[in-house]
Amino acid sequence: MTPERFQRINEMLDQRQPDLTVCMEGVHKNHNLAAVVRTCDAIGVSDVHAVWKNEQMRVSGGSAAGSQNWIDVHNYSSTKDAISKLKEQNMQVLVTNLSDTAVDFREVDYTKPTAIILGQEKFGASETALEMADQDIIIPMVGMVQSLNVSVACAVVLYEAQRQRQLAGMYDTPSIDEERRQRFLFEGGHPIFAKACKRKGLPYPAIDEEGHIVASDQWWQKMQMTQESWEELDQ
């Protein structure tokens, strides 16, 4: 890992917002999925939650290609489980929905731990999501259309959240935990070794203050051996 890449990854991680997230409820179109994750990365969101109605559409957790290399994806089979998990983290749960109690999305305090529910492209958020959400929000529109594309709506709300958090200085103080920082530094700075660790079942080593791998001689020996060989070595 070059010093420049090490600095770039650390700068990115310093601005991550672990208590700001989105939950895609049944969003299934690939271009929308990709756009939401890309926006989350740009805003500094570190986690994306997703409820899948079709198991074949399920996105693998952890890291994947592109922007998902830098975001953890958490998968659920039910909306209730997803929102319950978010509320366990003391997050206010928002959902875009035109109702008598809905407020302009800009009136919400996004400096609080916040989760934004993104409903399915055609039908929107489910009844379960609407019942469990803490607040309905609306994006004002004065044209003939009544709703925005789900990924566009996501970007509009998240950039308001970013604006508020920047004014509050929340991007100035790192809040990501050290364990996650170490994982992203290793996977992003040493991807070949990271893939080998996953393939062989080896734990990730530590990354020092210059971006170098800190590992024992035994770890390096196992990295160069087949899994079967180093399992015999441990016996």
Last residue of a domain, one of 113, 132, 167: 167
Same domain as 115, residue 73: yes
Burial track 54-87 (b if 16+ CB lie within 10 A, e otherwise):
eeeeebeeebeeebbebbbbbebeebeebbeebe
Last residue of a domain, one of 167, 198, 219: 167
**Residue 229: predicted pLDDT:** 55
The one-letter code for the residue type at 85 is: K
Reported as a single tens digit per residue, the pLDDT across 135-187 is 999 898 888 777 788 889 999 999 999 999 999 999 999 999 999 999 999 99
Residue 31 lies in a domain: yes
Same domain as 125, residue 208: no
Residue 122 lies in a domain: yes
Same domain as 126, residue 43: yes
Reported as a single tens digit per residue, the pLDDT across 195-213 is 999 988 899 999 999 999 9
Looking up tokens 């180093």 gives: 230
Q: First vs last Cα of the chain: how many Å apart?
A: 34
**Residue 42: predicted pLDDT:** 94
Confidence of residue 81 (pLDDT cuts 50, 70, 90): very high
**Residue 25: predicted pLDDT:** 87
- Identify which has the larger pLDDT, 228 or 225: 225
Same domain as 126, residue 94: yes
Average pLDDT over residues 74-95: 93
**Residue 63: predicted pLDDT:** 34
Lowest-confidence region among 23-27, 109-113, 144-148: 144-148
Residue 66 lies in a domain: yes
- Identify which has the larger pLDDT, 230 or 146: 146
Annotated binding residues for S-adenosyl-L-methionine, written as ranges, equal: 96, 139, 148
Looking up tokens 């998902």 gives: 68
Range of the domain at 201: 178-234
DSSP three-state, residue 24? strand
How many degrees, rounded to 5, is the angle at CA 226 between CA 198 and CA 223? 60
Residue 9 lies in a domain: no
**Residue 60: predicted pLDDT:** 42
Mean pLDDT of the chain: 86
CB 76 within 8 A of CB 115: no
Confidence of residue 231 (pLDDT cuts 50, 70, 90): low
Whether the per-residue pLDDT at 62 is higher than 60: the answer is no
Same domain as 219, residue 163: no
Same domain as 90, residue 163: yes
Same domain as 139, residue 61: yes
Average pLDDT over residues 103-123: 90
Annotated binding residues, written as ranges, equal: 96, 139, 148
